[in-house]
Structure 1
Amino acid sequence: MFNFDAVVPSIPYIFEGIGITLQIVIGATILGLVLGVLLALCKIGNVAPLRWFASFYTSIFRGTPLVLQLMLIYYAVPQVLDIKIDPIPAAIIAFGLNSGAYISEIIRAGINAVDKGQMEAAKALGIPYSKMMKDIILPQAMKNILPSLMNEFITLNKESAIVTVIGAMDIMRRAYVVGGSTFTYLEPLLIAGLIYYVMTLILSFLGRTLEKRMKRSD
């Protein structure tokens, strides 16, 4: 049933896609985290237009398929603006914008879970809002939402496989190329699946380790 003989020489080629995948995932995570914090602060703030914008933004990116957002950025934006976007930057932007919508909800829930008394005490002491959020509220919220953030990171790692539709040479795309050249698709796809699975296990382990360390620091 399985015949890996034709695929084995191409395994290093598939493994080279790990770097591309991590580049996309890490870049999108950083962008999504920064955007998520800003959107969350807008959602809990007192400026109505910013709240409406943040809610509308989240609704759009959570209500449409990620692959559609990716293809709009890679194909439609260059058409409208008459520019060229390479697959990797397009993927980072698309995944980052999408992830920011989900992370904003995670952070908003984490902020709301922090004891209200701490915010009231900070206000009573005259601590500026920005300093209160940066030094008191957000650090506690981050500890509470770390498992959810790691789940988002792991999900992003797996969903990154859809960049194959725009030609980015990630793990999945390389497995598909190997399948096309050897006329054997099952084996390279299984290898790609194993790579994603191992990466997910590693990320899960790192997340649990970080969570334990943060708990010990309380």
Structure 2
Amino acid sequence: MNRVTKIALYIGFIITSVLYLYMLATVTPENNALRNSLKPVPIIFLLMLYSFESKKKSPLIISTFLFIVIADIVSSSLNMFWLALLIYGIGNFLLVKMMLNTISKNAKKEVGIYFILSLILFLIVFIYVIQDKGNCFFSILFYGVTVSLLFSVSLLNYKHNMILANALLFLTISVRVISDAVYAIVIFNISNVYFDLVSLSIWMLSCFLFYKSFILREKQISK
């Protein structure tokens, strides 16, 4: 990918991210479709950046970005948050699959223990923090299980292979977990535009870090 194209895509990601956050702050929640209409666009720019920059173009990573885009559209345009959670969860499984393809055998033996510990933490949040689950009960549960598994595998991935790319990927997933926790409070307990902005700013940052960690991981693992 030439430098001009890369810079143009970076600028496109930044501008659409800022515009999305601006609309989030200024458009009323009653006009949800308009408020969130730009949410999938920055992710499309990241998908284009990855597709142009990556030499191997992992189908799992491309599919992960596509699932995020689809889930964003389903959530914002169709107002079917329960279905969006299921799609996000499938995207998490694809990331787990990607890491398990390269993780060591010793790390795989520890997945069960780390997964149980992560799942216990999620269940505490699920039971005591998320009060009004509405029709999303099973979707939240499914998504939480996938996030717990993803966090566990990413931690072990870094623990057993402490390269910069794996550290960045683990950091990215940790940032995503924080974003999800804040967003859960906003969606299922209180409605506050400032929490919205904080959560979705972290969300956009985590998506950008995903793209960077995927590219860096490809370069370091291929050496």
In the superposition, the TM-score normalised over structure 2's length comes to 0.31
The structure having more radius of gyration, on CA atoms, is 1
Higher relative contact order by CA 8 Å / sep ≥ 6: 1 or 2?
A: 1
